[in-house]
């Protein structure tokens, strides 16, 4: 029996499906469409507007688009250019090329949606929307954003976060969170301008690779989610 899926179903779901008696499969298909098809449909709405040409504060034209398989080398070069204290929330060493191979070749936009900003062939900014598949915070997306040092003060972070907020609304999320360390004042101001507010601050709570302590700040934003943004209607 061939599955009538408009989008590829997760492997574990396909395996389970074929183990279900035929008389139960209609209900199982309904469950699939309720839990997976809407997600895929919303994701399509969220990324269909890319690639997008944008202008920085100084007029420089850049392109914003999702990560693709060919970005491996330039994405690593970008991360290595970002100062280490700003990479505190990346859990793996960015000097490992295998990390970027995995990110680019095995990207799962349902869980992590990365958007890049490029000036020519150079990545100048990156933002990722991290989604939780279940639990009490499944309605809350986590946003991480980084800017190339040569492009500071030119609204890179502001433009990228604005785009990821729009994507989050299409995906039906209710709230967004951002984790930053206290030194990232430019990023914090950009978040505040976009509607984020500080939820809490823990002084000297996190340590960088050199053992230096930093303030840990979580900012939050409430999203307006309606039928238009949820990709239905």
Distance (Å, whole) CA 216 – CA 206: 6
What b/e readout covers 191-209, taking b as 16+ CB neighbours within 10 angstroms? Answer: beebebeeeeeeeeebeee
Within a domain: 180: yes
213 and 181 in one domain?
yes
Give the domain range for residue 30.
8-48
Summarised one tens digit per residue, pLDDT across range 124-178 is 999 999 998 788 999 999 999 999 999 999 999 999 999 999 999 989 999 999 9
Q: Which two tokens stand for residue 73?
A: 């080398």
Among 12-21, 82-91, 215-224, which stretch is predicted with the lowest mean pLDDT? 12-21
- What proportion of the chain, given as a percentage, has pLDDT over 70? 77
Within a domain: 229: no
Instruction: Read off the pLDDT of each residue in 25-34 and give the average, rounded to a whole number.
Output: 45
Within a domain: 2: no
8 A C-beta contact, residue 180 and residue 188 = yes
127 and 98 in one domain?
yes
66 and 138 in one domain?
yes
- What proportion of the chain, given as a percentage, has pLDDT over 90? 49
Q: Which two tokens stand for residue 120?
A: 């020519």
119 and 193 in one domain?
yes
Average pLDDT, rounded, for the chain: 80
164 and 138 in one domain?
yes
How many domains is the chain partitioned into structurally?
2
95 and 133 in one domain?
yes
37 and 100 in one domain?
no
64 and 36 in one domain?
no
40 and 105 in one domain?
no
Q: Which two tokens stand for residue 233?
A: 């209607």
Instruction: Read off the pLDDT of each residue in 92-98 and give the average, rounded to a whole number.
Output: 76
Q: The pTM is what? A: 0.76
Specify the pLDDT at position 202.
97
8 A C-beta contact, residue 115 and residue 144 = no
98 and 23 in one domain?
no
Summarised one tens digit per residue, pLDDT across range 185-223 is 878 888 898 899 999 999 999 988 778 899 999 999 999
Specify the pLDDT at position 106.
84
Specify the pLDDT at position 186.
79
**Domain at 125, CATH number:** 3.40.630.30
147 and 34 in one domain?
no
Q: Which of 127, 108, 88, 35 is nearest to 205 (CA)?
A: 88
Within a domain: 232: no
Specify the pLDDT at position 91.
66
Distance (Å, whole) CA 206 – CA 53: 37
Within a domain: 141: yes
């Amino acid at each position: 029996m061939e599955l009538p899926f408009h989008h590829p179903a997760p492997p574990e779901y396909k395996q389970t499906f074929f183990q279900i008696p035929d008389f139960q499969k209609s209900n199982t298909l309904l469950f699939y469409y309720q839990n997976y098809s809407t997600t895929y449909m919303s994701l399509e709405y969220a990324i269909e507007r890319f690639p997008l040409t944008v202008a920085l504060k100084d007029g420089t034209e850049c392109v914003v688009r999702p990560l693709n398989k060919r970005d491996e080398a330039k994405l690593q070069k970008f991360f290595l250019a970002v100062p280490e204290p700003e990479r505190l929330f990346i859990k793996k060493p960015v000097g490992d090329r295998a990390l970027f191979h995995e990110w680019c070749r095995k990207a799962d936009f349902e869980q992590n949606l990365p958007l890049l900003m490029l000036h020519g062939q150079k990545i100048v900014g990156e933002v990722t929307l991290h989604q939780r598949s279940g639990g009490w915070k499944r309605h809350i997306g986590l946003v991480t954003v980084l800017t190339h040092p040569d492009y500071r003060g030119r609204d890179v972070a502001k433009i990228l976060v604005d785009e990821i907020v729009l994507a989050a609304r299409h995906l039906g999320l209710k709230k967004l969170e951002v984790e930053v360390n206290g030194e990232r004042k430019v990023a914090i101001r950009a978040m505040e301008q976009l509607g984020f507010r500080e939820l809490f601050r823990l002084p000297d709570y996190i340590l960088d690779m050199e053992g230096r302590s930093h303030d840990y700040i979580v900012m939050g934003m409430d999203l307006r989610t309606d039928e238009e943004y949820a990709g239905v209607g």
